[in-house]
Structure 1
Amino acid sequence: PKSTTGSRVLVLLDKEDDKTLYNKFFNSLEEREYNLTYTTPTDSTVDLFSYGERAYDHIINFAPKTKNTSVIDHFNYDMSDDGKHTLIVANGITNNEAILTKNVIEGPPVLFRGIAHKVGTVPLLTKVLWAGETAYSYETKADQQVDQEPLVIGNEVMLVSALQARNNARVTFVGSIELFSDRFFDSSIQRTNPAESFPKSGNEDFAKDLTKWTFQEKGVLKVTSKHHHKEGEGEELEIYRIKDNIVYIIEISEYVNDHWQPFNGTDVQFEAIMLDPYIRKTLTPYPTSPEQQSRKYEAHIQLPDVYGVFTFKVNYKRSGYSYIEDSTVVAIRPFRHNEYPRYISAAYPYYTGAASMIMGFLLFSVVWFFNKENTKRVKKKTS
C-alpha cells in the first residue's frame, strides 16, 4: 500500500448516492491502492474495531452538513458566485512542504464554500488554508443583516487545518465538502480582487496532497538505528564515567513517494537529561549515496561532571512531520579512587606551600645544629 499505516478506508456519506459528486476524488484514492468502503452514519452494522483490532485504517467523514453559517468575503469571491459571496477564492496557504508540494503552494488558488473554524494556540495544530483579511463567518439567510460582530474575522477564518496527535495519528479539518467535488475540481477561477483568471482551480492537486499527508503517505519519519560509544572505541556501554568523550549516532529515514529515503533535516538535536537537560547539541548530518535509505547524524560529546542515571534522547517535533522521540537510559559514574589524576593543577599553590615549608624547616635545622653558641667560660686574672 501507498500508506505506511494501511489501505482500508471507511467513507461516511449522508447518502451513498452522494459519492457520484466526488468521483474524481475517490478514483484518485483507488488509484493509490486504497480500498474504500461506503456507508452512512446511521448504519449500525459498521464497526471500527473487530476483536480488539482496527477494522479500518482511515476514515473520511463527508456526512455532516450545516446550514447555520458560511464564510463570506465581499472582495475575494469567484465571478460564478450566486450573489451571497460565499464562493470564495482562498489563496492563504501554508508554505510547509512536508504537507503540500511546492507546485500546490505556488499553483492556482483553491475554491471554497463552507463553514469556518478557529484555531487556537494548540501546538499540535497546523494552519493549512485560510481566508483573506476581508472574510468573516456569518449566517446566510435571505435578506440577512449583519447587526452583530462575527465571531471569526479576517485571517482567523480558518478553512483547512491539520492536527497530529502525540501518537502520530493525523486528523484534517475541512470546512467545505464541495472542495472535494468534481465540480470544484474542474472549475475555472475568475477572481475579482485582484482581477485574474485561472483555467482550472487548484482543488484537485490540493486535495491529493492533503490526503497524502493525512493518510501518512508523506511526512513520515522513522529511526532506523542508533548507537553510542566512547571515542576511539566501538562498543556500546551501559555505564560511562563523568567527563568521558563519547560519540552518539542516529539514522533517520523519511517516507516519500512510496519509498524510504534519507531525511534532509538539519536541526536534529541530542539531549542528555537527568530531570533537566545537562547537554543539548545539534547533530551533524552526513552526506548520503543514492542507494542509502537513511541519513546518519552524529555528535561528539563530553559527558557532564555529574553522575547519576541519564537519558540520551532525540526529541524531534516539527510541523508536518511525524514525531521522533527516541531515548536510551545510561548510567554515569564518578571517578574510581585510582582514576583521579596524580597531580591536580588547581592544587599547585598548596603543593608549593607544603614544599616551601619543608625546605624552610630543613634549612632552619641545619642552621640550628651547625651554628651553636660558644659556651666556654673566660677566666679573668686578678692581681
Structure 2
Amino acid sequence: MRWFVSLLLITLLGLVQGLSSTGSRLLVVIEESSEKAQYSTFWDDLEGKSNNCRGYKLTFESPKNDKLSLFQHGERAFDHILLLPPKSKGTSFYTITGDVDLPSSGLGPALTPKLLLQFINQNGNILLTLSSDSPTPTSISSLLLELDIHLPPDRDSLVVDHFNYDTASASEKHDVLLLPQGSRIRSDVRNYFGGDGTIAFPRAVAQELGNSSPLLAPILRAKSTAYSYNPKDEAEVVEDPFAVGEQISLVSSMQARNSARFTVFGSAEALENKWFDRKVKSVDGRDSKTANREFAKQITAWTFMEVGVLKVGRVEHHLSSITGDAPGNDSVAQLGYLNPTIYRVKNDVTFNIEISEYSYDQLTPLKVDASDALQLEFTMLSPYHRLDLVSISQTPNSTVFSRTFKLPDQHGIFSFRVNHKRPFLTNVDVKREVTVRHFAHDEWPRSWEISAGWVWIAGVWITIAGWVAFVGIWLWSEPAYEQSKGKKMQ
C-alpha cells in the first residue's frame, strides 16, 4: 500500500512540475537576447506551449552577468543548464585548476569548468551546444578534456561530407550534413534517439571520444565519408584531419556515476527555427523534411531526465523451499519473515526486486531486452553467485524480478547486490547485507541418515561385537586346575 501511495505521489509531482524526474528549473545561457528569436520554436517545445506537457521554467541569462550563480545556500539554483555558443571572448577568470587566474574566453566567472563539474556532482544536467561559427572557449575545451571528450585543435574546424549533404543550402561547401536518426550502438543498449526521419546538421563541430571511459556513449555519428576540416586552410588536400568517418561523434553523451547527464550537441544551428521541418535535398535528388524538431525533443528529454530513469521499489529476500514441480516461481514457498539478517549455509533463499522506468510523464514496468540481463550477485569479497533475475510479475508501474538459489557452503558477511549500469539508463546499485552462519551442532545430519556412513557404522558395531565375544570366550574358557595330593613341606 505504501509503495502504491509513493508511486501516486511521484506521478502527481511529475504532472505538477513537468516531465523531468529531477525538476523543471532550466537555465539557458545565451549571450545576446536578440538570438532568442532564432530558437523560439525550441523554447516553446521546452515550455510546453506547443504540446502543453513538458513544462520547463526557462531562465535566460547572459554569461556576462556577474550576478549569475549556479548555487544558492550550497544547493543547486537550477536543475538543468543549456549552454549556447558565446560570440565574444569574455574576461579572465579561474579555470579548472582553481589556482591560477588564467585568461580564458567565453562563459564568465559563474560558469567555470570547476563550477560546472560541481553542478554535475550535485546531480545537475547540462546540454552543451557547439558551433563552428563561434570558436569554442578554452574553458569549454578544458571541461571536455576532463570528461575525455576531445575537440579539434583548430577552433574553426567543421565537419564536411561530399556524399551526404544538403544540395539546396550547401551546394558548394558541403557542410550541412544529412544523417538518419540515431541507431543502437549495441544490441543490448536501449535506443531513445531512433526514428525514420532525416536530421540536418549544419556547420557541426567534430568530437572524438576517449576509449578508456565507460561513462561516454555516442548518440549521433558522422557517415564514413565525413571528415573534420578547417575552412581557413587553403590547401586543396587535407593531409592530417582531426578525425574521419565514424570516429566523428556529432552528439555525445556522458552519464556520471551519480547518473547526472552531460550532452555535447555539435551544431547549435540545428536547433534554430529554420531547420525545424525544413525541406532538404540529398545528393541523389530525394526531397525530404528534416526531423530536427523531434530529434531535439529526444536529446533534451534524455539529457534532462524525462526518459531512461530507473527507480527501485521494494527489495525483499527470504528463506524459501521448493514445494513441487510447478513452473517458475509458483514452486517456491516463503519460510519465515521477510528480510532476515541471518541465514545458514546451504539455505534456499529467494531475492525479489521491483524496478520501474520513468518515461516522460509516468512510471512504466521495466523491460529488459532479450540480449541483455538484469543480474543478482551474492558476494563477499567477490561474487560467489552471479545469476540472471527473472521477471515474475508486473504492476501498471513496475516489474518484479526474482531468483531462488542455494547459499554457498561458506559462512561470513555476504551481500545481495544488483549493480545494473547501461548506457542511457540511470545506474541501479542496490546492496543488502546479511550474515551467513555455519551449521549449529544440532543441525548436522545424524550418521545413520548418511548412507555412505553405513559401512563405518557397521564396522564399529562389528568391532564391538567381536571384542565382547572375545572377552566372553576368554573368561569362560579358563583351564581347570587339579588339587595337589602331596604333604606340605615344613
TM-score scaled by length of structure 2: 0.71
CA distance in 2, matches of 1:18, 1:213: 25
What is aligned with 2:301?
212
1:26 partner letter: W
Compared CA separation, residues 168 and 320, structure 1 to 2 (3 A): same
Correspondent of 1:180 among 239, 247, 271 = 271
In structure 1, the residue matched to 2:214 is 123
In structure 2, what is the equivalent of residue 157 of structure 1?
Answer: 248
User: Would the aligned equivalents of 2:19 and 2:306 in 1 still touch at CA under 8 Å?
Assistant: yes
1:103-125 Cα shifts (integer Å, max 9, x gaps): xx231221112110011222111
Q: Does 2:388 match 1:282?
A: yes
1:208, CA displacement in angstroms?
0.4
The CA distance in 2 between the partners of 1:269 and 1:243, in whole Å, is 21
Q: 2:159 aligns with which of 71, 76, 89?
A: 71
Q: Which residue of 1 aligns with 2:143?
A: none
- Distance in 2 between residues matched to 1:25 and 1:15, nearest whole Å: 17
CA RMSD, 1 decimal:
2.3
Tell me the distance in 2 between the aligned counterparts of 1:139 and 1:169: 33
- Alignment equivalent of 1:237, drawn from 327, 331, 340: 340
Among 9, 12, 20, the alignment partner of 1:3 is 20
Residue in structure 2 matched with residue 381 of structure 1 by the alignment: none
Report deviation, 1:370: 6.1
Matched, 1:358 2:464: yes
Give the Å deviation of 1:205.
0.6
Q: Distance in 2 between matches of 1:348 and 1:135?
A: 79
Q: Secondary structure at the match of 2:289?
A: coil
Greater shift, 357-366 or 206-215, is seen at: 357-366
Distance in 2, Cα, partners of 1:226 & 1:308: 22
Gaps of 5+ in 1: 377-383
Instruction: Select the residue among 36, 56, 67 that pairs with 1:19.
Output: 36
Amino acid at match of 2:310: L
8 Å CA contact 1:212–1:218 kept in 2: the answer is yes
Aligned counterparts of 1:372 and 1:153: Cα–Cα separation in 2:
109
Q: 1:196 to 1:338 in 2, by over 3 A?
A: farther
Q: Does structure 1 retain, via aligned residues, the 8 Å contact 2:27–2:60?
A: yes
Structure 1 segment 1-383 matched on structure 2, within 5 A: 1-31=18-48, 32-64=54-86, 65-66=134-135, 68-80=156-168, 81-91=170-180, 93-95=182-184, 98-100=190-192, 105-113=194-202, 114-121=204-211, 122-141=213-232, 143-192=234-283, 195=284, 197-231=286-320, 232-265=335-368, 267-289=373-395, 292-343=396-447, 345=450, 347-365=453-471, 368=474
Give the whole-Å Cα distance in 2 for the aligned partners of 1:227 and 1:130.
42
Q: Partners of 1:13 and 1:249 in 2: how far apart?
A: 48
User: In structure 1, how many angstroms separate the alpha carbons of the residues matched to 2:191 and 2:42?
Assistant: 18
C-alpha contact (below 8 Å) 1:99/1:213 kept by paired residues: no
Asked if structure 1 preserves the Cα contact closer than 8 Å seen for 2:28 and 2:60, the reply is: yes
1:98: how far off?
A: 4.2
Maintained 8 Å contact 1:91/1:130 = no
Residues 179, 99 of structure 1: CA spacing in aligned structure 2 closer, same or farther, 3 A cutoff?
Answer: farther
CA distance in 2, matches of 1:39, 1:275: 50
Q: Which amino acid in structure 1 is aligned with residue 441 of structure 2?
A: H
Tell me the number of residue pairs that the alignment of Structure 1 and Structure 2 aligns. Answer: 370
Aligned partners of 1:225 and 1:251 also within 8 Å: yes
Letter in 2 for 1:39: E
Deviation sequence 1:210-262 (CA, Å, 0-9, x none) = 10011000110111111111112333211111111111111111111301121
21-30 or 81-90, which deviates more: 81-90
**CA separation in 2, counterparts of 1:47 and 1:247?**
50
Q: How many angstroms does 1:6 deviate by? A: 0.5
Superposition deviation, residue 332 in structure 1: 1.1
2: distance between equivalents of 1:199 and 1:94?
A: 19
Q: Provide Cα deviations, 1:78-108, integer angstroms capped at 9, x if missing partner.
A: 112141211111237232784525xxx2312
Q: Is the 8 A contact 2:198 2:291 kept in 1?
A: yes
TM-score, structure 1 length as denominator?
0.90
AA aligned to 1:12 is V
| Contact persistence 1:100–1:206 (CA under 8 A) | no
How far apart, in 1, do the equivalents of 2:36 and 2:358 lie? 30
Structure 1 residues 216 and 321: alpha-carbon distance in aligned structure 2, compared to 1, 3 A threshold? same
Letter in 1 for 2:35: D
Amino acid at match of 2:388: T
Percent identity over the alignment is: 35
Question: Cα gap change, 1:48/1:373 in structure 2, threshold over 3 Å: closer, same or farther?
Answer: same
- Structure-2 separation of matches of 1:99 and 1:27: 25
Structure 1 CA distance for aligned equivalents of residues 300 and 190 of structure 2: 12
